[in-house]
Amino acid sequence: MRGKFISFEGIDGAGKSTHIRYVADYLQQRLKAQKHQVICSREPGGTPLGEQLREVLLKQSMHLETEALLMFAVRREHIAQVIQPALERGDWMISDRFTDASFAYQGGGRHLSLEKLNQLEQWVHPDLQPDITFLFDVPLEVARARLDATRELDKFEQEKAQFFADTRNEYLRRAAQFPQRFRIIDSTRSIPEIQQELAAIVDQLLQQAE
């Protein structure tokens, strides 16, 4: 049977990376009997070429449309080399960001037309969507405070508050547009509380897959 595809989304500092490892380990435990793997990957990135382009995308300024085209070029490679083969083997795929990030960052944050993004999506993956998308949602101030406390900021993380307000709004708009796929995770709660909710959602997904 085809595996399931889970994507993790949210503005920078919302808590995505913190919870991906937890979900991957939790899932792997439960899939053990079926001998299926959990494959974790990320965008931009996920393949050797994608990781090279990630370096460029996170460091270098470029035309807004170049940025969007490169994000989708990375995605095309990621789908062909990693996501599609994993799902066909029956493995489960977890991606740290997918196309919703292009809508939120290039569309919401940078105001690229959503119509152009729709066209790119139709071109690159007309028949593929995540089965579940976890949207880690926090007010901007919480995300900023968490980020500032940790690491050196990349090109996107250095954007102003308005950029993140627009990005977050576009994520929330998409969550309202696709309620069956999105699960909004209130990331202001404690890590154990969030993990409990994630485990319950993953259990439901496993039941559907049986």
* Residues that bind ligand ADP in the complex, under the rule CB under 6 A: 10, 12-18, 136, 146, 150, 187, 190-191, 194
Q: Give the CA distances from residue 7 to residues 42, 98, 108, 128, in Å, rounded to whole numbers and listed in that order.
A: 9, 6, 19, 12
C-alpha angle 152-155-161 in degrees, rounded to nearest 5:
90
149 a known binding residue? no
- Choose among ligand TYD, ligand ADP, none what residue 187 binds, the Cβ cut-off being 5 to 8 Å by kind: ligand ADP
> 190 among the known binding-site residues?
no
Could you say whether residue 136 binds ligand TYD (CB under 6 A)? no
Does residue 129 bind ligand TYD (CB under 6 A)? no
182, interface contact from ligand ADP, ligand TYD, none, CB < 5-8 Å by kind: none
Task: Return the residue matching tokens 């382009």.
Answer: 53
Give whichever of 102 and 133 is closer to ligand TYD, judged by the CB atom.
102
Question: Residue 101 binds which one of ligand TYD, ligand ADP, none, with CB within 5 to 8 A depending on kind?
Answer: ligand TYD
Query: Between 152 and 210, whose beta carbon lies closer to ligand TYD?
Result: 152
Determine if 77 is a binding residue for ligand TYD (CB under 6 A).
Answer: no
- Judged by CB under 6 A, the stretch of 30-38, 112-120, 151-159, 177-185 that binds ligand TYD is 151-159
Q: How far is the CB of 17 from ligand ADP (least distance, A)?
A: 3
Question: Under the criterion CB under 6 A, does residue 44 sit at the interface with ligand TYD?
Answer: yes
Binding site for ligand TYD (CB under 6 A): 12, 17, 42-44, 71, 96-97, 101-102, 105-106, 154, 156-157
